[in-house]
Structure 1
Amino acid sequence: MLFNAFSNPNLGKWIIPGTGILWFSGCFFLFRFYGLEVEEAFTDAFFFALLFALGIWVLDMVFSLFSPKGRNLWLIFLVPVTLSFLSVFAHRFFMTWWMEDQEEYLEFLHHTTYVRLAFLALSEQMIAFLALVVSKLERQEELNKREAQMLQLSKDAELAQLRQQLQPHFLFNSLNSINALVIKQPQKAREMVLLLSDFLRGTIRKDTKSWISLEEEMNYLKMYLEIERVRFGHRLDVEFSIDERTEKLKIPQLLIQPLVENAIKHGLYGVTGEVKIKIECEKEGNYLLLKVENPFDAQSSSQEGTGFGLNSVERRLYLLFGRKDLLATSSEENVFQVQLKIPQYQ
């Protein structure tokens, strides 16, 4: 639609009548300035403004049904000029009949015919051109909104897929461990099944919640660590250092668990002694700062893998915040550290 504003029922109630009133006022005072009597100026201005408003209404109707594009843009100039020509000469014919006994007025009317035509045509062309520009801007804005909605839907779908991948990934690892314990340590296998059931019941029930408090996230993490302790016993030592100010800060659900799972994999697999994993949380400006630290053996074959944990967390952070600087890794003297920065906008 070309005249989106005029075709809008709410705006159309006052735009066309409003322009007619402004045109009438301008013409009336102009005619009075050039010496017409009040009655003559009022009558002339009234019918001239009526035809002007009618021309705008016709433009609205025409271009609402047909929006000129490409080679048809010349219609933006031809249609207003044609309407102006018809309006001016219809006005001249009517006023000549209405004021047939007013010689001075008729002379004034005849002398101003082409001036009226020029002003009316220029005004209606400007209105048509402005309406075309507004229409294109509105269509572009609508297109941008649709693209943003599609992009958001795509992001939401990918985030949902990543969250759904987290549990199967962890579940498969747990089932493999249970399988290894069934024959040698059936009691531990049973204990692990019960813990796994509790963990999945808690996380699946809140799967639709994308953000939770750090306190809730830590509760899920501790449930997960109880499962891992069934496998590794005293060898798995996890040290928490949580700033009390961070407990109510928000974090994407199950964001830390894949990092801790990654730390356990690279810290305990292939190692026979006790291994300490450190988890630190603190507030730094408008960020929740998380650190997961574990020892590792650079020569161990356990370092090989798909890298799902780090990659999934990095991708989730990018989809949520559009930034790639929120996850950083470092290794020094056989100690591997992952650092997360979660923006807090509240």
Structure 2
Amino acid sequence: MFSRAFSNPSKSKWIVQGAGVIWFLATFGLLQLYGIEQAIAIVDALVFALVFVFGVNIIDTTFNFYVPTGRNNSMLLIFPLLYCFVAVYFHYQLLKWIFDADQLYLVFLRENFILRWAILGIAEIFVAVLALAVSKLEEQKEIKNRESMMNELSKEAELSQLRQQLQPHFLFNSLNSISALTVSQPQKAREMVLQLSDFLRGTIRKDHQQWVSLEEELSYLKMYLDIERVRFGHRLEVVFELKDEVKQMRVPQLLIQPLLENAIKHGLYGITEDVKIVVQAAKEHNYLLLQIENPFDPEVAAPKGTGFGLSSVDRRLFLLFGRKDLLESNSVGSQFTVTLKIPQLK
């Protein structure tokens, strides 16, 4: 009990010893009030304190390995009372043997046998109840720790799965484009294969890093845009507007790419003229504020897809920060804007 209540074993040892000293002093004082000689009172109190401390250790050890539940709760009374009876009987026989010549003290021992048993029994029952309470608290704490660990492992697994889904999703789109270019424009198809290889090599090399600087993330985005420009040619223009102060701010790796891919897909779908996508980054208090703005035709139905872009980013943000207010999207006229707020971890 005491070893679980306090993480330091030496501290729990001192607590038990302190309780034994208090028990000795209290017993000695009561014996003096009853008129027992000082020498006899010291031996009596010492033996009584020893059986008390021994009982505390026995109960502590017992309830470390066995916690009564339900009908077995009666053990909280039976076990301490049984031990106390044996302990008081041992105390009586030992003191009777040591001071066999002092008839008055022997009468005192015999007449107060039940009283000693009751006092020691109440104390040891209190220790047993305390041991059970501490055991229950420790059990609840362990359950919460296991639940917290399982939730953390589950969250990490889902984050890992989301990160792993990014490359196949982008890869399938790129391979479809390469397939389409192999017949009509084989040179562009070859160029796109080489650029895709560079992009994947760069992202795989950094895959173990969950957070990167915005500057490093932008270098990945520019490799990605080089691939997309092979697909869409001069129609696609992406402008980055950011200040130097935000370049070293941190972002979860490959968090922005699905948003940019979403902007390209929706911006170029149903629009025949050139498309300009603007990516802005600024510092707002302790947040990195990112905005991606793309044109779209509100009269044309959205292109079919898995809906992976916005939903994956929203889910990653929730898993990382436990918040659902970090990603917003809105449309005004023919402009669609996605706003992303990334808290900066200290």
- The equivalences for 1:132-143 within 5 A come to 132-143=132-143
- Cα distance in 2 for partners of 1:115, 1:276 equals 93
Q: Is residue 20 of structure 2 the alignment partner of residue 10 of structure 1?
A: no
Aligned AA (1:163): R
C-alpha distance 236-145 of structure 1, shift in aligned 2 (>3 A): same
What does residue 129 of structure 1 align with? 129
Q: Aligned residue for 1:334?
A: 334
Q: How does 1:14-53 map to 2 (within 5 A)?
A: 14=14, 16-53=16-53
- C-alpha displacement at 1:30, in angstroms? 3.6
Tell me, in whole angstroms, the C-alpha distance in 2 between the residues paired with 1:251 and 1:65: 49
2:161 matched to which residue of 1?
161
Cα deviation for residue 167 of structure 1 reads: 0.4
**CA displacement, residues 265-295 of structure 1 (integer Å, 9 cap, x when unaligned):** 0001232211111111111112111111101
Deviation at 1:84, TM superposition (A): 1.2
How far apart are 1:6 and its partner, in Å?
8.9
Q: TM-score w.r.t. structure 1 length?
A: 0.93
Q: CA deviation at 1:200?
A: 0.4
Q: Which residue does the alignment assign to 2:191? A: 191
Q: Distance in 2 between matches of 1:281 and 1:46?
A: 77
| Length-normalised TM-score, structure 2 | 0.93
Give runs of aligned pairs for residues 159-238 of structure 1, distance below 5 A: 159-238=159-238
**Corresponding residue for residue 258 of structure 1:** 258
Q: Which moved more, 1:4-13 or 1:314-323?
A: 4-13
2:85 aligned residue: 85
In the alignment, structure 1 segments of 5+ residues that lack a partner are: none
1:94: which partner in 2? 94
Alignment-mate amino acid for residue 4 of structure 2? A
Q: Which amino acid in structure 1 is aligned with residue 9 of structure 2?
A: N
Question: 5+ unaligned residues in a row in structure 2: which ranges?
Answer: none
Answer yes or no: is the 8 Å Cα contact 2:290–2:339 preserved in 1. Answer: yes
Q: Residue 31 of structure 1 aligns to a residue in which SS?
A: helix
Amino acid of the residue matched to residue 99 of structure 2? M
Does the 8 Å contact 1:76/1:128 carry over to 2? yes
Q: Report the equivalent of 1:297.
A: 297
The residue type equivalent to 1:300 in the other structure is V
Q: Which residue of 1 aligns with 2:314?
A: 314
Q: Distance in 2 between matches of 1:32 and 1:316?
A: 73
Give the C-alpha shift of residue 8 in structure 1.
8.8
Displacement, 1:25? 3.1
Matched length: 345
- CA distance in structure 2 between the partners assigned to 1:104 and 1:124 by the alignment: 29
Deviation at 1:206, TM superposition (A): 1.2
Q: Whole-Å Cα distance in 2 between the matches of residues 227 and 25 of structure 1? A: 86
